[in-house]
Amino acid sequence: MSFLDIDERLLELIEHIEFDRSPLTDIKTVGHCDLGLIEGGLCNAENVQVLREFRAHCKTLVAVGACAINGGLPAQRNHLDLGRLLTDVYPQGVPNDPELPLLLNHVHPIHEVVHVDYFLPGCPPSADAFWSFLTDLMAGRTPYLGHGLIHYD
């Protein structure tokens, strides 16, 4: 997660925010939060369930990165037949474990399932874009990310 690339600025950020749930923690429940950052597209039923639960507990939700905003690279499978794709990938038999989440026929950006308040583009967004975005929000300003922070090389 490029969020961690804000390096020592993370220490300043921690003085103003409290992390409730992240890939760095093993917290399985969602508490109320003022700001939720979501990355990744929706590939399976579990993704949709977790996103809806998270959105219900977030005052403000931010779609982070190309995958969350438009499906990103995983959405490249959207023009393929999912059944055929799975049999091509698993020629010895498609896994049929009830513990595996049910794949969706298409990968969806998160705004197709829940309301998104802000979009932070990039693949991934740069650390400076994250920092500018978060400091604007903490200061009560509408985030502005100009060409210097958001561009594709």
pLDDT of 25 reads 65
pLDDT of 69 reads 97
Cβ atoms of 6 and 149 within 8 Å: the answer is no
Question: Where in the chain does DSSP place strands (E)?
Answer: 33-39, 42-44, 58-64, 103-108, 118-120
> Of 57, 56, 64, 76, which Cα lies nearest the Cα of 37?
64
Cβ atoms of 71 and 108 within 8 Å: the answer is yes
Residues 6+ apart with CB under 8 A from 70: 41, 109
Count the residues in the chain. 153
Cβ atoms of 135 and 16 within 8 Å: the answer is no
**CATH fold for the domain made of 2-138:** Rossmann fold (3.40.50)
pLDDT of 89 reads 93
User: Could you state, in chain order, the average pLDDT of each consecutive group of 10 residues for the chain (153 residues)?
Assistant: 75 78 67 90 95 94 96 95 94 93 96 97 90 91 84 62
Domain boundaries, the chain: 2-138
pLDDT of 23 reads 63
